[in-house]
Amino acid sequence: MNTQGDCPVCGATLTLWDGFKAPAPLSLACPQCNEKLVVELPMRWLFVTLVVLAYIWLGVEAVLQLCYLQFTGFFWWIAMMAALLALVALIGSIVYFNFADLMVPDDSREF
């Protein structure tokens, strides 16, 4: 499993933490040159669909748990869901470096 990649502009090493801090699932910035990079994923629609479904599931679970748990139990549940959201972001970072190509965005194309 590959957990790092190289910036196509300056050659700096990109780590899992850089992917974890990415503002959007399919774009990130190089920490050295601050160049915005685009993640070119072969089956982009599947990745985006799975991430959106994970967030929808967590949101529905939050509403259901708020209805059925007592107030204190809800705070423990929120902590567990925060850990699951972090896990989703970490899995996204691993997907970046194993299945995707990091590219400099084309200025003629809008995001």
The predicted-structure confidence for 58-104, as pLDDT tens digits, reads as follows 778 777 777 776 666 777 777 887 888 788 777 777 777 777 777 78
Overall pTM > 0.75: no
Indicate the residue type of 103: M
Indicate the residue type of 75: F
The predicted-structure confidence for 17-28, as pLDDT tens digits, reads as follows 877 777 766 677
* Burial of 108 (C-beta count, 10 Å sphere; 0-12/13-18/19+): exposed
